[in-house]
Amino acid sequence: GNSVTQMEGPVTLSEEAFLTINCTYTATGYPSLFWYVQYPGEGLQLLLKATKADDKGSNKGFEATYRKETTSFHLEKGSVQVSDSAVYFCALSVRGNQFYFGTGTSLTVIP
């Protein structure tokens, strides 16, 4: 079946620290992969995506590379800011099917 597993939170980092949030997946077919971000009191917003193997999605300093050999799509940022504090969701979608979301990882960045 289709599923996403992401690292448990919460994660607390100091400003300018390096961020990694791990995400692995299982999928029937050839999925597209996504990272969404949810700020307090808001809906989920797309952060970045990748639609085929070895693609790198990037946005706002965040990056993730679609690794088919390890079935992974880890989220990274070189230097986090207080404004990055949010909940991050990894997700996949297979053509013609629904979206599958991970459980979310809460990130808090302290000054």
Partner 1 sequence: DAGVIQSPRHEVTEMGQEVTLRCKPISGHDYLFWYRQTMMRGLELLIYFNNNVPIDDSGMPEDRFSAKMPNASFSTLKIQPSEPRDSAVYFCASSPPRLGDTEAFFGQGTRLTVV
Interacting residue ranges for partner 1, rule: CB under 8 A: 31-32, 34, 36, 42-46, 49, 51, 89, 93-99, 101, 103-104
State the nearest-atom distance from the C-beta of 34 to partner 1, in Å.
Answer: 6
Q: Which amino acid is at 87?
A: V
Query: Which residue, 34 or 109, has its beta carbon nearer to partner 1?
Result: 34
Instruction: Please say whether the beta carbons of 87 and 37 come within 8 A.
Output: yes
Query: Which residue, 35 or 109, has its beta carbon nearer to partner 1?
Result: 35
Instruction: Please say whether the beta carbons of 28 and 71 come within 8 A.
Output: no
Q: Which residue has the tokens 């996504």?
A: 34
